[in-house]
Structure 1
Amino acid sequence: MIHIEQETYDCPVEALANLLGKKWIATIICTIKNEKKRFGELEKELDGCTRKMLTQQLDLLMKQEIVLNQKEVNGNSIESHYYLSEKGLTLLPLVEEMIAWGSNNLKCDKSGRY
């Protein structure tokens, strides 16, 4: 049994498809694939994603141990950086294959959206 949020899955493929199919999840993974990002940086790069949605999706990814949050004290403030865990890094080839397959096989509009 696999548990993601309130859902329970018997099939790992269905569980992963449900996770990656959630709005902004794949985009967040791709955005932090090469470097750590602060929340504000993610907010700017994910145009159209609300603060609440970004927080919820990052929480979900952290619960699944796909994304980690590193906090650093910098003077009187705390800086928080998000990045892919080792587990998250192993997911990248699959996400990149999905992007390649979608680009080659699905019709999308001029904005690049499917």
Structure 2
Amino acid sequence: MYTVTDLRSHGGADAYLRNCASRAVLDLLANKWVCLVVGALRPGTMRFGELRRRLDGITQKMLTQTLRDLERAGLVHRAVYPSVPPRVEYSLTPLGEDVGGLMDAIRAWSEHHIDDIRAAQEQYDRKAGEELQPV
């Protein structure tokens, strides 16, 4: 059996504890739009409109908030160029590049296993429906 070592006494993080700051990082990274924005930026710098077109279904408000959250966390760099209208470009920081591999792996796993997940869900729903039938 695997047991997580409690690292608190050594000054380490322990995400299993409710007050551990690393939970905020997990919360950020668990967001689907964060995963997709980071993945979209992996090939290189993009402007807001390019990102919005690439991320089918994201609203302007959600993309703005996601980019702000990523910039605040040090994963995305925002560059503003003085022109009319102002040109704004987004790119991954080294920290963002580092987590990008993880985000790509999650996305690729999701795409690869979608049929397995759907089949399991259908099987679960059928079984749940059978259990609800009156005797």
Taking structure 1 as the reference length, the TM-score comes to 0.74
The answer to whether the 8 A contact 1:67-1:88 is kept is yes
Larger radius of gyration: 2
Q: For each residue in 1:32-71, what CA deviation from the matched residue of structure 2 results, as whole angstroms up to 9, or x when unmatched? A: 1111111111111111100001001100000001001011
Distance 1:48 1:104 in 2: 21
In proportion to residue count, which structure has more strand?
1
What is the identity, as a one-letter code, of the residue corresponding to 2:96? G
Change (3 A) 1:65 1:52: same
In proportion to residue count, which structure has more helix?
2
The answer to whether the 8 A contact 1:20-1:26 is kept is yes
The answer to whether the 8 A contact 1:9-1:15 is kept is no
The CA RMSD measured in Å over matched residues stands at 2.5
In the alignment, does 2:35 pair up with 1:64? no
Q: Structure 2 unaligned runs (5+)?
A: 1-11, 119-135
Change (3 A) 1:11 1:65: closer
Identity across the alignment (%): 27
Q: How many residues align?
A: 102
What is the identity, as a one-letter code, of the residue corresponding to 2:99? L
